Chain A
Amino acid sequence: MRLLEINNLTRSFGGVLAVNDVSFSVDKGQIIAIIGPNGAGKTTLFNLMTGIYPPTHGTIMFKGTEITGLTAYQIARLGIARTFQNLQIFNNMTVLENVMVGRHIKSKTGFLGAIFPVWPVQREEREIVEHSLDKLAMVGLTDQAMQPANSLPYGRQKMLEIARAIALEPELLLLDEPAAGLNSTETRELIDTIYNLRDQGVTILLVEHDMETVMEIADRLVVLNFGNKLAEGTPYEIQNNQEVITAYLGEEGSGC
Chain B
Amino acid sequence: MSLASELLQYLLSGLTMGGIYALVALGFVIIHNVTGIINFAQGEFVMLGGMFMVTLVGAGVPTVPALVLSVILVMIVVGIMEFGAIRSAKRASPVSLVIITIGLSTAIRGIALLVWGTNPYRLEPFTAGGPIHIGGATIVPQSLWVIGTTAAVLALTFFMFEYTYWGKALRACVVNKFAARLMGINPQKMSLFAFVFSAALGALAGIVIAPITYVTYDMGLMLGLKGFVAAVMGGLSSTPGAVIGGIALGVIESLGAGLVSSGYKDGIAFIILLLVLFLKPGGIFGTFGSKRV
Contact = CB atoms under 8 A, between A and B. Distances in A.
A40 to B, nearest CB: 15
A52 B290 contact: no
B40 to A, nearest CB: 26
A13 B290 contact: yes
A47 B292 CA distance: 10
Contacts of B184: none
A110 interface: no
B172 to A, nearest CB: 21
Contacts of B290: 13-14, 53
Nearest to A47: B293
Contacts of A47: 293
B289 interface: yes
Interface in B236-293: 289-290, 292-293
B293 A14 contact: no
Contacts of A53: 290, 293
Interface in B96-125: none
Interface string A49-63: 000110000000000
B93 to A, nearest CB: 12
Nearest to A13: B292
B88 to A, nearest CB: 23
A52 B293 contact: yes
Interface string A184-202: 0000000000000000000
Interface string A210-253: 00000000000000000000000000000000000000000000
A229 B290 CA distance: 25
Contacts of B293: 47, 52-53
Contacts of B292: 13
Nearest to A16: B292
A214 to B, nearest CB: 24
A186 B290 CA distance: 37
B293 to A, nearest CB: 5
Nearest to B290: A13
Contacts of B289: 14
Contacts of A13: 290, 292
Contacts of A52: 293
A13 B290 CA distance: 8
Interface in A33-55: 47, 52-53
B155 to A, nearest CB: 33
B92 to A, nearest CB: 15
Interface in A1-32: 13-14
Contacts of A14: 289-290
A94 B58 CA distance: 62
A228 B178 CA distance: 29
A14 B290 CA distance: 8
A14 to B, nearest CB: 7
A55 to B, nearest CB: 13
Interface of A: 13-14, 47, 52-53
Ordered nearest first, which 5 A-B pairs have the shortest CB separation? Answer: A52-B293, A47-B293, A13-B292, A14-B289, A13-B290
8 contacts: A13-B290, A13-B292, A14-B289, A14-B290, A47-B293, A52-B293, A53-B290, A53-B293
Given A14-B290, A53-B293, 5 more contacts: A13-B290, A14-B289, A47-B293, A52-B293, A53-B290
